Structure formats: C-alpha cells, structure tokens
Structure 1
Amino acid sequence: MNKMLGVCRRYARTNLEAEDIFQEAFMKIFQKMKDLKNPLLLDSWIKTIVIRTAIDYYQRTTKSEKLQVCLDSIDFERESGEHDRIFYQLDMEILINVISELPNGYRAVINLYFIDGHTHAEIAKLLGIEESTSKSQLRRGRDLLIKKLQKKGIMAYERL
C-alpha cells in the first residue's frame, strides 16, 4: 500500500492530491479485479492502474491550464548525461518532494521517463501530446529540477 501511495505522491503536487489519486486508483482496482487474468502479474497490474489513474487525474486537473510549451531550437535528441544519472543517487523522498514542486507537465514527463522508464513515444500516447513535446517537457523539467535541487543545496552540480 505504501509503495502505491508513493507512486501517487510522485505524480501529485500535494499529499492530499496523492491520497485522492490513491483512493480513486484502488476503487478502480477493486472494480476491475475480475479482469485480472494472471494473478502472478498482480503487482505490475496494480502499478499500471495507479499510474494511469494518476495520469487521468493530471489530465483532468490541467484541462483548463495551458502547458507552456515553446518548441524552439532545443536539441531534442541530446543524449542523457551525468546529470541524469545523478538523480538515481539522491534520497528518493527528497527527490519526490522537489519533483512535486514542478509544473504539471514537467512533473508528469519526468516521472514517466526517469522513474517509470517509459519512452517519449509511450509518454506522448499516455498524455495525448506530441513526442517532441514530451522531449521538450523532459529537458525543461530536468533543467528546472536541477536548479531547484541546487537552490536547496541538495545537489552541487554544474551543467556541462
């Protein structure tokens, strides 16, 4: 249960939002339990429902908000570097708290890409955005996350 609440927390801005997502996800899980074909896959099945519920929540709550996406001359194909690997060395609770401060679009893409391991094509499909938008949101979100971590003194890292 705590693990799935943690997944909800990664996608939410506040603990209250996370609890709402968690409750909604488990209502779906209980309603769809009869659809589970392979009980050995229960953990991944539950996690998938929780993530999809979080994405649905994100999409519902941002419908009226405009995602600020400016597709300019950003090098979308830039390879991930040392600054990406450093996220995996941070205390997860600290990282989740800082990620929760990010704007909705950045937060969703960072969670889906770095933590849940989705490709940009998968993220685009899940969020109903263009693949290039996913790449842009990731790059900008990563840059903002690094700045926030540096500002809090959590990560003394200078970009190359």
Structure 2
Amino acid sequence: MFKGKNNLDNFVLIMYIAIIAFFIYRIYKSFKNKKLLAGDINKFDRPSTTFEWVLLAFLLATGVFNLIAGIKQNNQNAIYMSVVMVVLAIVFLVAQQNKLYVAENGILINSTFYTYKELKKWGFDKEKNDFVMAVKKDRQDTSEATKVKSEDIKPLNDLIRKYKLGK
C-alpha cells in the first residue's frame, strides 16, 4: 500500500488515517456516553460553523482532485490519499452532527458526560451563540464549549438551573 517515491506522502496518509481514528473514537465515545444519560433527556442541535462546512468542502474537493490525478497518472498513493480524504470528510460530517444532551443526571457535551456535581459554572456568549461550561472532573478543572442555536439558550439555561440548582 505504501509503495512510492515520497516518504512525505506516506506520512501525510498516516496522519489522515490517525485523524479519522480520532473522529471515530469521538463518535464512539459519544454513543457510549449517551447510555449514561438518565431520566428526562433533552437534545439540542449543534449548528455547524461556516469553517466546518468550508473544511468539509475542501476535504471532498481535494479527495476528488487526488482521485482524478491518481487515475490519470496511475499513482496508487494519490488514489489511496483520495479514498482516505473522502472517508475523512464523511467521518468529519458525522462527527459535526454531534448533539448536546441535557438530562436529569448530567450533560453530554463534545462526547463527554458530566454530572451536575462536576459542573461548576456555565454561561452563554450570546454574540457567538456559544454555550460554555467550567467543570471539575477527576480533580482537573477544564472547560467545554459548543455552539447552540440562539433560540435554545433560554431552554438550555432553564433545564440546567432546574437540574443543577433545583429552581
């Protein structure tokens, strides 16, 4: 598979495969952590950014270009690269469809589940429609952020207040 003149091509191909593995892991982790949600579960769509759509289009266009060039030049590395890039685009598309879940026992954000005990602060950047959380899990302070729809800000905040604060 990795026959070719250029070791850089092989390195780039391996890097793309590693990125695909990372996205598949995130999808799997999200699927697995969804099972931790209990009680009343509310799902919020995460709107895709323009950057994500541009990146997706770039991956697909580059993949198609590499496929055509690889076939014309009978270059197996270019063909492999094109297949990997198209697979990366598809996996990236699936990964960007990740949802935000708010349940009675915690929040699933960016493939990670947090209980309300781990949630220390939360807020919204209304200009960018970002939902931001400060959490402490496994003795580490971290923050999580994701895009939300502007119309979801109030219901999301109300649910967190209800489950975290009992209000």
TM-score range, shorter chain: under 0.3
Of Structure 1 and Structure 2, the greater helix share is in 1
Higher gyration radius (CA): 2
TM-score using structure 1 length? 0.28
TM-score using structure 2 length? 0.27
